[in-house]
Amino acid sequence: MPSDTQKRLLLEMFENLPGVVFMLLFRATDDMRLAGWIGTVLAASVCVTYVRKTLRPQPILLGINIFMVAITPLIECLILLGYRDTATILTRNIATLVIMSVFLTGVVLTLFRTNGFLNYQTNGTKQRNTHSAVLLIVCAFGVVWSQLAGENYLVSLGIPLMVLFGVHQLLRARTTDQQARNGAILACAAPQGSVSDASA
């Protein structure tokens, strides 16, 4: 049986799967409808693990997966109802809409979740809000970039998401380092305090 660490890694890979499969299928087949429906099914499966609390959502991926659950059925419904022009506009702006979904998810998490737009513990509310705000600003720049970068999803969508994940990891690493230093300082101070008490 896989260990707890292996299970966690497998679940994290599964959480990434909808977006990765969509990009690969779309590039391989140039069939957005096929790629969209397969991505929708996979994203819905991931959301089931969220609801069952089998998987703790990564905030950025949460926004992506929520978007993928909704967008293909929405576009299909618009086409069936005769709003083909609206469906076409949505299809042409998929990259922007994905990043907007991540941004809106981040806003909601920042307002209503203990950790904000983060999946790690910070050193207080101020740092949490600052880190969440930095990620939201990166998202906002990503929305603008996606409008200017053309229709190549690797450029218009891939680059902003890579930057967003990178900034998130950087902020997390800095926080972890700070917590480790604080823990080391406290550990060093404790024995000194004990010696002083013994001397007294």
Does position 195 have pLDDT exceeding 50, yes or no? no
DSSP sequence for 110-124 = HHH-TTTT-SS--SS
Taking only the tens place, the pLDDT of each residue in 30-75 is 898 999 999 999 999 999 999 998 888 999 999 999 999 999 999 9
Predicted confidence at residue 138, as pLDDT, reads 96
Largest alpha-carbon pair distance within the chain? 86
The residue among 186, 174, 44 whose CA lies nearest residue 118 is: 174
CA 88 distance to own-chain centroid: 26
